[in-house]
Chains A and B, each alone.
Chain A
Amino acid sequence: MKEEIFISGRDIPYIDPFLNIWHWQIPIYLFLGGLAAGILFFASLYTILGKEKEMPTTVKWAPFLVPGALVLGLFALFLDLKHQLFFWRLYTTIRLESPMSWGAWVLMFITPLSMVWVASYLRELIPSWNWKFQWLKDAEALAIKNRKPMAWVLMILAIILGIYTGILLSAFNARPLWNNAILGPLFLVSGMSTGVAVIMWMSKSHYERKVLSRIDLLLIVIELFFITHMIMGSLAGSQAMIEAIDLFLGGEFTVSFWVFVIILGLIFPAALEILELRGYKVPIAIPAFLILMGGLVFRFIMVEAGQITRYLY
C-alpha cells in the first residue's frame, strides 16, 4: 500500500484537493470557438469553390452567427481571467511557444475579419439597409470585390482556431488526459461538425442540407476514429496516461462520456442522418441539436476530467 498525504495542511482554493482552476468558461469558449471555426471554414471553402448560389446558408447566412459566437466566447474567456484588468498584456507580446498566445492573436484577426465578411452580405439580408456614410459604402464595395482572398485568409485562420482549441489542452504535459497529440485534430473536426450542424439547422434548401448532412456524416466518422485513437494512444502510454483515460473506461466520467458524447452526440445523429439520406423523413433539428449537445458536453468533460489527472509521484 502506498499513501500520500500533506501533513502541513494544504487547502488552497481551486488547487486542493484536486485542480479545478478552469471552470465552465473554458469549455463554453472552446465550444463557441470550434463552432465559429467550423462555420467559417465551410463558408470560405464554398466561396473558394465558387458555390455561393448552391450553398447560400453556408456562405452567407450562417456566418452571421460567427461574430456573436466569437464575442461571447471571448467574453467567457475574459470572465475566466483572475487578473482581468491586465488582459491587454496578451497583446503586448507574441509568445510562439504558448498556445494561448496563438489563440489570442488569431482571435484578434479572425473576429474583425468575420465581421467584415458578414457586413459584406448585410445588404443581401436586409435589402433596405443603408450604410449612410460614403466611406462605409466604399469599404463594402472593397469587401465584396475581395471576397475570394478574404475567404482564403478566413479558411486558414479558421483551421488554426479550430486546432488551437484542442492544442490549448494538449500542450499541458502535466495533465496526462490532455497530453495527447490527437486532441488538436479531434477538436478541429468536432468543431467543424458542430458548425455544419448549425448550418444544416438554418438551411432551407433541400440540396444544401443533403450536401451538409453527408459532410457531417463524414466528420462524425472521422471524429469517432480520432476518439478511438485517443483512447488507444493513452492505453498504450505511461501509467499516468492509463490512469487518466481510465476516467472514461470505468472511472468517474464513463457514463457521461459514453452516453452523452459517443451515443447521443455522435452515433445516434449519424444514424439519423443515414436514415435521412436513405429517404426517411427526419426533422433536421434532432440530429443538429444532438451534435451540438454532444460537442458541448465533450468539451465540459475533457476540461473537467483533464484537470484531475496528474503525474504520480
Chain B
Amino acid sequence: MRYAMAIDTKKCVGCSDCVVACQTENNVPLGYCRDWITETVDGSYPNVEIELRSERCNHCDNSPCVRCCPTGASHIVEGGIVLVTHDKCIGCGACIESCPYDARYSHPEGWVDKCTFCHHRVTKGELPACVSVCPTKCMYFGDLDDPNSEISNALKNRKYKALAPEAGTKPQIFYLV
C-alpha cells in the first residue's frame, strides 16, 4: 500500500477550500496551515503562464525529517504516511530544517505539526479533508500500488511532476501538468 495524491494544476482555481477544510478538520491553530496554495507566474505579457498548486507535506519515500529526528517522533506508518508522535517530539526543529518543502511548523503547544494525509479519515476509508471538499475535483487520492485506484488512473493518462525531485526525497504528491 502506498498512499499518494495527484493534483491537476489545469483544474485547480486556487480557491483555498482545501486549506480551510484542513484547518477545520484538524483543529489547526489560528494563523497556521498544513496546506497552502502557491501560484507560479512565468513569463511576461502577453505570454504568461500561471500554475496553481495546492501544496502540503509530500510524505516522501526517502523522508529527511524521519531520518534526522533524534527521538523517533517522526515516523512512517502503513501506506507511507509520515506522522509525528506528539509526546515523543522535543521540538528541536531539526525536521523543520530538513524539509525542502517547508511543510512543517512548530505547533504553539511545542511539538512539530504538519499534514497527516488525514490519517484518521483515511484509515476509515474516507478521503482526506482537502480532497473531499475540492469544488473542481482536481485532487486525487489513493493507493499507488493498486493499478485501478483513482490516483493510478490519473497518473496513467497525464504528464505529471513532483516538487524538487532533485532533493532526493522521493515526494509522493504529484502535479498533473
Residues of chain A whose beta carbon lies under 8 Å from any beta carbon of chain B: 1-15, 19, 21-22, 80-84, 86-87, 89-90, 92-93, 95, 97-101, 104, 171-175, 238, 307, 310-313
Having A5-B41, A15-B102, one finds 7 other A-B pairs with CB under 8 Å, namely A4-B38, A171-B98, A172-B68, A307-B97, A310-B100, A311-B166, A312-B164
Cα(A87)–Cα(B73), bound, Å: 12
CB-based contact B106/A14 at 8 Å: yes
> Which of B32, B40, B70, B98 is the one whose CB lies under 8 Å from A90?
B70
27 pairs from A and B in contact (CB 8 Å cutoff): A1-B43, A2-B41, A7-B14, A8-B33, A9-B16, A9-B36, A11-B31, A21-B93, A81-B91, A82-B106, A82-B110, A82-B112, A86-B88, A86-B89, A86-B110, A89-B88, A90-B90, A97-B68, A98-B94, A100-B68, A100-B94, A101-B71, A104-B70, A173-B98, A174-B100, A307-B97, A313-B163
CB-based contact A172/B98 at 8 Å: yes
Q: Report B69-109 residues with CB < 8 Å from chain A CB.
A: 69-73, 87-94, 96-100, 102, 105-106, 109
Residues of A within 8 A of B167 (CB): 173-174, 311
| B157 beta carbon closer than 8 Å to chain A | no
Cα(A2)–Cα(B51), bound, Å: 11
Residues of B within 8 A of A10 (CB): 33, 36
Cα(A6)–Cα(B36), bound, Å: 7
CB-based contact B92/A100 at 8 Å: yes
Q: Given A13-B106, A19-B102, A311-B100, do A5 and B39 touch, yes or no (CB 8 Å)?
A: yes
Taking the closest CB of chain A, its distance from the CB of B130, in whole angstroms, is 11
CB-based contact B100/A12 at 8 Å: no
Number of A-B contacts (CB under 8 A): 153
Residues of A within 8 A of B89 (CB): 83, 86, 89
Residues of B within 8 A of A80 (CB): 92-93
Interface range on chain B: under 10, 10 to 19, 20 to 34, or 35 or more?
A: 35 or more
CB-based contact A100/B40 at 8 Å: no
Cα(A181)–Cα(B44), bound, Å: 40
CB-based contact A15/B33 at 8 Å: no
Residues of B within 8 A of A175 (CB): 97
Contact mask for chain B residues 153-166; partner A; CB cutoff 8 A; 1 contact, 0 none? 00000000001101
Instruction: List the B residue with the shortest CB-CB distance to A97.
Output: B67
CB-based contact A84/B97 at 8 Å: no
Contact mask for chain B residues 33-77; partner A; CB cutoff 8 A; 1 contact, 0 none? 101111111111000000010000000000010011111110000
Q: Given A15-B96, A174-B100, A313-B164, do A93 and B71 touch, yes or no (CB 8 Å)?
A: yes
Q: Given A82-B106, A99-B68, do A3 and B40 touch, yes or no (CB 8 Å)?
A: yes
| B144 beta carbon closer than 8 Å to chain A | no
| B4 beta carbon closer than 8 Å to chain A | no
Taking the closest CB of chain A, its distance from the CB of B79, in whole angstroms, is 22
CB-based contact B37/A6 at 8 Å: yes
CB-based contact B70/A100 at 8 Å: yes
* B40, B68, B69 pick with most chain A CB within 10 angstroms: B68
